[in-house]
Amino acid sequence: MSPRVSSLNTIFFNCSLEKDWKGPFYFIQGADPQFGLMKAWKVGDHDNSGDEWQEEIKLTEQAVQAINKLTLKPKFFVLCGDLIHAMPGSPLCEEQIFDLKHVLEDIDPKIPLVFVSGNHDIGNSPTPESIAEYCKNWGDDYFSFWVGGVLFLVLNSQFFQDASNCLELKEAHDLWLDNQLAAAEQLKIKNVIVFQHIPAFLQSAEEENDYFNLEKSKRLDLLQKFEKGGVKAIFSGHYHRNAGGKFNDLDMVVTSAIGCQLGEDKHGVRVVVVTEDKIHHKYISLDELSDLTVKEMISSYLEVNDESPCLFY
Ligand SMILES: [Zn+2]
């Protein structure tokens, strides 16, 4: 399926050029700009407030400007959901989307944007209408793409939480996912990476159910499927704190927010370096995100003889 993407800078990748491994590369993952949550959190009314989002605008601008200044260009910038705080149909939705798009329009045209849907973007119990509205604004709610020999799967994790109002769409999503994973297994694709808003788990695959993870039986079922299909890492948000753990060799990575922090982390993004055998990643605060920190981080993961035309183009 070739993804239908938003009118923002989502140049998509040429499949025939991107299917082969050409050397290490990197991308940047952000999560939860969630315009409006900082105010809502401050006043303690998470559901009905969030009528100001100047702070989130500034933070997202800071992220965009810092990324634009990087001389080693990331292959893309993925935002793992909860783009805005207002739930679908709420009066603030349109304004928050407008403001976020305005900020993101400044991203360097050489850096494609990839969007992942969060519960605040399509609703806790999404409907065909709320999903269609999301797709209109941000592109498909699930799709796959190739970059530098790596297959990326963007999922709609709300289907795993509550699909009671969109059963047919969930079935289509799950069938698509099964087919993607079966093809990945058959083709023995070395690196498959998943993006989904809600983490499968926060620390351990055996942990109890929580607002911030997937229900245990669904989680284990999904993790086994991922493992069989060769998925090496899942990158998520939703938790507004950094966390993560391992399911056998599969890395579950939970990235804190660009916007509102619910723990002790600083506003930031994650820099992800993909080498032939490993996926390395590090959360970097927006204040520290610079050419120097990114170059230092990347070179610490590369072997002396690593040929990396993808990095140094
Ligand atoms: Zn969320």
CA–centroid distance, residue 189 to ligand 1 (Å) = 30
φ and ψ of 168, to 5 deg: -65, -40
Contact 102, 60 (CB under 8 A): no
CA 150 to chain centre: 15
CA–centroid distance, residue 179 to ligand 1 (Å) = 27
CA–centroid distance, residue 222 to ligand 1 (Å) = 19
What is the side-by-side order of every strand in the sheet holding 113-115? Answer: 113-115, 77-79, 25-30, 268-274, 279-285
Sign of the CA dihedral 146, 63, 211, 171?
negative
Contact 85, 34 (CB under 8 A): yes
CA–centroid distance, residue 208 to ligand 1 (Å) = 18
CA–centroid distance, residue 216 to ligand 1 (Å) = 18
Structure tokens at 136: 């209109």
In a structure prediction context, what are the per-residue pLDDT tens digits for the chain, which is 313 residues long? 445 445 455 445 556 678 888 889 999 999 999 999 999 888 877 766 688 999 999 999 999 999 999 999 999 999 999 999 999 999 899 999 999 999 999 999 999 999 999 999 999 999 999 999 999 999 999 999 999 999 999 999 999 999 999 999 999 999 999 999 999 999 898 899 999 999 999 999 999 999 999 999 999 999 999 999 999 999 999 999 999 999 999 999 999 999 999 999 999 999 999 998 899 999 999 999 999 999 999 988 887 655 554 565 4
Domains of the chain: 23-301 (3.60.21.10)
CA–centroid distance, residue 56 to ligand 1 (Å) = 15
φ and ψ of 285, to 5 deg: -65, 155
Does the predicted TM-score (pTM) go above 0.85? yes
CA–centroid distance, residue 32 to ligand 1 (Å) = 7
CA–centroid distance, residue 221 to ligand 1 (Å) = 21
* Number of neighbours of residue 33 by Cβ within 10 angstroms: 29
